[in-house]
């Protein structure tokens, strides 16, 4: 009986330690992302909202503004919304 009680207690303590560690690592990565956005090392994709490297090669220049994208799909969607690309058709498959 005591063995099971001690085993359950040790299991609970290990579980709490593991979950607390995961929570801290999530907070650290969020702070790091906020720092990169604040320093201009990361920018937000205007279509899907993903944060990407500010040196991304997938760009569209709109006057003096340069928009950066996480993928060519997001770039094409941006151009479609701006009226610079024709709408997608479903017959390409």
Please state the pTM of the whole predicted model. Answer: 0.53
Q: Provide the pLDDT for residue 93.
A: 47
- pLDDT 10s digit of each residue in the chain, 93 long? 888 888 888 888 878 777 776 666 666 667 777 776 677 678 888 898 888 888 888 888 888 888 999 899 999 999 998 887 777 665 554
* Alpha-carbon gap, residue 45 to 67, rounded angstroms: 8
Instruction: Identify whether the C-beta of residue 69 lies closer than 8 Å to the C-beta of residue 60.
Output: yes
Q: Provide the pLDDT for residue 90.
A: 58
């Amino acid at each position: 009986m005591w063995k099971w009680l001690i085993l359950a207690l040790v299991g609970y303590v290990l579980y709490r330690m593991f979950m607390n560690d995961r929570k801290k690592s999530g907070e650290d990565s969020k702070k790091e992302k906020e720092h990169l956005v604040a320093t201009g090392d990361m920018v937000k994709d205007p279509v899907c909202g993903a944060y990407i490297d500010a040196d991304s090669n997938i760009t569209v220049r709109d006057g003096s503004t340069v928009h950066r994208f996480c993928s060519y799909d997001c770039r094409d969607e941006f151009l479609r919304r701006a009226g610079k690309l024709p709408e997608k058709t479903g017959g390409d498959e």
